[in-house]
Chains A and B, each alone.
Chain A
Amino acid sequence: MRDLSRSVDGPCGRVSTFVLAGLAAVMLALPAALWLARPDANLSATDRLASEIGCQCGTCPNRPIATCGCGFADSMLTELQTKVEAGMSDKAIMASFIAKYGPTARIKPEGSGLDFAAWLAPMLLLLVGGVAVAAFISHWHERADDLPAASGVPAPTADPSTGVTPVEAVADEKTAEERHYRQIVERELDELGD
């Protein structure tokens, strides 16, 4: 893994890197949200719409008529099949259900307008949050370089050329592999509790 803190010289450079990464995350959230909102291309029109129209019987709210199984959902399913067989487009069918049952007939937000916010917000949080976490990790790692042995438990020093600690170097010898693992287990158990 490339050490992000070393990617650009100086704190200003690092901040710029993360600001750019943040912007990239925002830009990436848009296509990610659009991808999530996409219609399911693998399904037939009836199955696709049946998974996006909610049962309106009043006792099983928001359950897709495709899986609801109550008598009312079955009648809505028949209604849907009739419309699909009549050659109506997906949009026209959805509009007819909304006109008949109200806006709650659609249980999957669209990929546009205010509906799109439903898909976008979780992706924004995840991607921008990912960049923020990476920035924190990088920043805290930089501090550790300034002040080594922070926790009071001396950490094994890694060989700068290979990134391998002495303990790991021992482990590289196949005959000592078990000893190496035991050392790690024992060290973690005894020094770190769990």
Chain B
Amino acid sequence: MIQFGHICLVLAFAMAGYTVAAALLGVRKQEAGLVQSARNALYATSALIALASGSLVYLLITDQFRVRYVAENSRTEMPLVYKASALWGGMAGSLLLWTLLLCLFSSIACWQNRRRHAALMPYVYATCMGTAAFFIAVQLFAADPFETLPFTPVDGRGLNPLLQNPAMAIHPPNLYLGYVGFTIPFAFALAALASGRLDTSWLHATRRWTILSWFFLSAGITLGAQWAYVELGWGGFWGWDPVENASLMPWLVGTAYLHSVMIEEKKQMLKIWNMLLIIATFSLCVFGTFLTRSGIVSSVHAFTVSSLGPMFAGYLAVMLSISLGLVALRLPELRSRHRLESVLSRESSFLFNNLVLVAACFAVLWGTMFPVITEFLRGVRITVGPPFFNRVNVPILLLLLLLTGIGPLIAWRRASWPSLRRAFALPAGFAALTAAALLLVGVTDLAALMAFGLSAFVTGTISQEFWRGTRARSASTHERWYRALAGLTWRNKRRYGGYVIHMGIVCMAIGIAGSSVFQQEVTATVTPGQTFDIGGYRMQYTNLQSFVSSGVEVVSAPLIAFRHGVAQFRMSPQRHFHPPPNNDNPTTEVAIWSNLRHDLYVVLTAWGAEDNSATFKAFLNPLVKWIWIGGMVLLLGTVICMIPDPRPDNAVVKNY
């Protein structure tokens, strides 16, 4: 099976290379046979990569520890689901999963569009398989998942215990689906540039792929934040670590692209800008992998330690040269006669929204790379941590929240001050009331006041849009309000799905602001029977317990939470001591009690064996649940946007 997997990889590399050559030669010589052969080779590459991935999963679940990857990422006692998820627990497996998803997405997209966009497809085949060939080459020459050890270990090292968590089992595939998904619109963009077919057909062909990729990226980021919150035990969900930043950057630019592409669809404007945005989104997806895999963030010198860094840098350089070269080549055709009928229009607000999203992405990129840049320039790393990211991004993201509220209320093409005054009166009043109420109850933090006030404003604008739309539809169709609401949403899923997404963002903003500004923290050392207070709760420590569960030694310190003198619930923060070889550090098992108002989050940090004392770090994190609810609302809105339109004439914008 080891040789079989390796042979599949080698054949897939050859097949992907053939696809690129045949597709480009076919389009150059205008030979349909060659292009068809390229498409078949693409399907064959996908099949071979699926076989290679299947082989690695088989090796993992059958404990074939002669394979280095299996020995390093699995062990006999691991549950089957984690053995299978070890496919993405290490670098070589992650790259194989990347390639597998890329091949599957490419096959589906190419099959869907093989006739409808025949002129674009050879270039799409070449781009998708060029990318796949690069990732297969990385596996063959730098991170081979089928590399064998000179001996067979009795057992493997096992997956890092921190990664043995349900959220972590599905978080990386979601992120990869997002990263890989953006390859499809990128490939179509390059195809449009290479073929000179620069109308909006490539945008329509990739609209759902873009939304689908954004969906998975959003899900991946939210799941990652939840994993960090539950598993890492520091009371927060986002640490501005380079791996987190790597996923946030393409999400920000991808969001800008999703908005600005609407202007191109409607008015054939911003063609160059949209090309640059999709190139930037895809580049940031690859750059994120480069950032986390090359070691460049830990030190500029680590870059050359493995061949991985230079390979990724080389690929990025080639890919950017080709893409930007094509944009430069097609510049005269991409230049459209931009016209805005009014300064006050949704187009204008989208342009500012793009600026803010790109600025937020730049701030994250700049902060992540700043240590590398300063080390390169001055030989000393200037470290940039959460204080920088929070300070810089909070005002930028507040601005974005404001635009989220403003955008939907400004009409396309032209708006006027009287109409805006009417549209904004209620939401602005609601925002002012919210801010005033918060001031009255003693909230003085400016950022929090702005975040909650703007959240109220956006909620007001969206509710007003749904309310007025439903009322208008109900009046014209004489439907009951709920049918009118459903009909309204169904008739224009993209618009109203977008509003649902914005509501998700509002929920997340409320959760982020609440938990960041009003977090309470207490550290207490207590003996059995003693209590400590946190945020209106009295926590009584019962006794220290120690037991073994599934080979893991558990130290548990149960607590009873009282409120107003009445016992409410029990919590059991724990520390887990894993068997060798994962016994370097015990892992923290946080106890979390959650409701819509706040999370009570307790960590066992130390204990004394003699007097059974325990030291707890307890946090009261207000409104955290709204972040996860917001994530789900956002995903629901994205699903609404993705539902295919039953009316063909509505699927394509009329002026296309």
* Residue among A137, A148, A181 with most chain B CB within 10 A: A137
Pairs across A and B, CB under 8 Å, 22 listed: A3-B343, A61-B241, A69-B235, A107-B383, A114-B378, A118-B366, A121-B366, A122-B363, A126-B355, A126-B396, A143-B339, A150-B267, A150-B339, A151-B655, A156-B414, A163-B418, A165-B416, A178-B472, A184-B411, A193-B492, A194-B492, A194-B494
With A69-B617, A147-B339, A182-B476 already in contact, the answer to whether A193 and B653 are too (CB < 8 A) is yes
Question: What chain B residues lie within 8 Å of A67 (beta carbons)?
Answer: 234-236, 386
Interface string of A133-160 (1 = CB under 8 A from B): 1001111110110011011110110100
- Least CB distance from B110 to A in Å reads 27
For chain A residues 90-107, which have a beta carbon within 8 Å of chain B? 103-107
Whether the Cβ atoms of B653 and A168 lie closer than 8 Å is no
In the complex formed, the residue of A with least CB distance to B416 is A163
Q: Point out the residue from A63, A119, A158, A192 that lies within 8 Å of B414, measured CB to CB.
A: A158
Residues in chain B near residue A121, CB distance under 8 A:
362, 366
Would you call B343 and A137 a contact (CB within 8 A)? yes
- Contact of B564 with A by CB under 8 A: no
B356-398: which have CB < 8 Å to A? 356, 358-359, 362-363, 366-367, 370, 374, 377-378, 380-388, 391-392, 395-396
B650 within 8 A of A: yes
- Given contacts A69-B235, A103-B380, A151-B413, are A140 and B340 in contact (CB under 8 A)? yes
Known A-B contacts A69-B603, A141-B340, A184-B411; A129 and B355 likewise in contact (beta carbons under 8 Å): yes
**Complex interface: chain A residues within 8 A of B269 (CB):** 140
Closest to B652 in A: A193
**In the complex, chain B residues 330-356 whose Cβ is within 8 Å of any chain A Cβ:** 337-344, 348, 351-352, 354-356
Measured in the bound complex, the distance between the Cα atoms of B578 and A162 in whole Å is 74
Kindly list chain B residues whose C-beta atoms are within 8 Å of the C-beta of A137. Answer: 340, 343, 348, 351
Q: Are A62 and B472 in contact (CB under 8 A)?
A: no
User: Contact at B416–A114, with CB atoms within 8 Å?
Assistant: no
- Which A residues are CB-close (under 8 A) to B469? 185
Q: What are the 8 tightest A-B residue pairs by CB atom distance, in nearest-first order?
A: A107-B385, A62-B385, A108-B387, A122-B363, A182-B472, A144-B339, A194-B495, A150-B339
In this assembly, does A31 line the interface, its C-beta being within 8 Å of a C-beta of chain B?
A: no
Does A129 contact B358, Cβ atoms closer than 8 Å? Answer: yes
Contact between chains at B385 and A63 (CB < 8 Å): yes
B597 within 8 A of A: no
A137 to B263, CA, bound (A): 13
Q: A178 touches which one: B265, B266, B348, B471 (CB < 8 A)?
A: B471
A residues adjacent to B (C-beta < 8 A): 1, 3-5, 36-37, 51-52, 54, 59-64, 67-71, 74, 103-109, 114-115, 117-119, 121-123, 125-126, 129-130, 133, 136-141, 143-144, 147-148, 150-153, 155-156, 158, 162-165, 168, 171-172, 178, 181-182, 184-185, 188-189, 191-194
Q: Which residues of A contact B606 (CB under 8 A)?
A: 71
B359 touches A62 (CB 8 A): no
Whether the pair B239, A125 counts as a contact (CB closer than 8 A) is no
The 8 A CB mask of B408-445 against A (1 = contact, 0 = none) is 00011110111100100000000000000000000000
B374, A114: Cβ atoms closer than 8 Å: yes
- Pick from A64, A147, A172, A178: contact of B386, CB below 8 A: A64
Query: Given the interface contacts A103-B382, A122-B396, A194-B494, does A144 sit within 8 Å of B340 by beta carbon?
Result: yes
How distant is the Cα of A176 from the Cα of B367 in the complex, in angstroms?
A: 53
Min CB distance A13 to B, Å, is 17
Question: Is B492 a contact of A189 with CB atoms below 8 Å?
Answer: yes
B468 at the interface (CB under 8 A from A): yes
Chain A, residue nearest B344 (CB): A1
- Contact flag A109-B370 (CB < 8 Å), given A133-B355, A168-B416, A178-B471: yes
Known contacts A36-B392, A144-B341, A168-B416: A122-B366 contact under CB 8 Å: yes
Q: B387 contacts A118, CB within 8 Å?
A: no
A121 to B362, CA, bound (A): 9
Check A165/B414 contact, CB under 8 A, given A36-B392, A103-B381, A178-B472. yes
* Cross-chain contact A188 with B412 (CB below 8 angstroms): yes
Determine the residue in chain A with the shortest Cβ distance to B265: A193
Beta-carbon contact of A171 and B422 below 8 Å: yes
Per-position binary interface string of chain B over residues 601-630, scored 1 when its CB falls under 8 Å from any chain A CB and 0 otherwise: 001011000000000010000000000000
B382:A109 contact, CB within 8 angstroms: yes
Provide the bound-state CA to CA distance between A69 and B378, in Å.
32
B265 partner residues in chain A, CB cutoff 8 A: 193
* B585 at interface, CB cutoff 8 A: yes
Closest A residue to B653 by CB, please name it.
A193
Q: Which residue of B lies closest to A42 (CB)?
A: B445
Closest to A108 in B: B387
**When the two chains form their complex, are residues B416 and A108 in contact, meaning their CB atoms are under 8 A apart?**
no
Asked whether B377 lies within 8 Å of A104 as measured between CB atoms, the reply is no
B239 — which chain A residues lie within 8 A by C-beta? Answer: 60, 62-63
Choice from A104, A162, A185, A192 contacting B412 with Cβ under 8 Å:
A192
Known: A108-B384, A143-B337. 17 other contacts (CB 8 A): A37-B391, A69-B234, A69-B235, A71-B606, A107-B383, A118-B367, A125-B358, A125-B362, A129-B355, A141-B341, A141-B342, A168-B416, A168-B419, A182-B476, A193-B492, A193-B654, A194-B492
Question: Does B302 reach chain A (CB closer than 8 Å)?
Answer: no
Look across to chain A and name the residue whose beta carbon is closest to the beta carbon of B386: A64
Is A193 in contact with B266, judged by CB distance below 8 angstroms? yes
**A interface footprint on B52-79 (CB within 8 Å = 1, 0 otherwise):** 0000000000000000000000000000
Bound CA span A103–B266, Å = 52
Q: Which positions 64-122 of chain B face chain A at CB distance < 8 Å?
A: none
Cβ of B172 under 8 Å from chain A: no
Residues in chain A near residue B262, CB distance under 8 A? 194
CB-contact partner of A155 in B341, B363, B468, B471, under 8 A:
B341
Q: Tell me the minimal C-beta distance from A78 to chain B in angstroms.
A: 11
- Is B504 positioned at the interface, with any CB of A under 8 Å from its CB? no
B140 to nearest A CB, angstroms? 32
User: Which A residue's beta carbon lies closest to that of B378?
Assistant: A114
Instruction: Say yes or no: is B227 at the interface (Cβ < 8 Å to chain A).
Output: no
Q: Cβ of B176 < 8 Å from any Cβ of A?
A: no
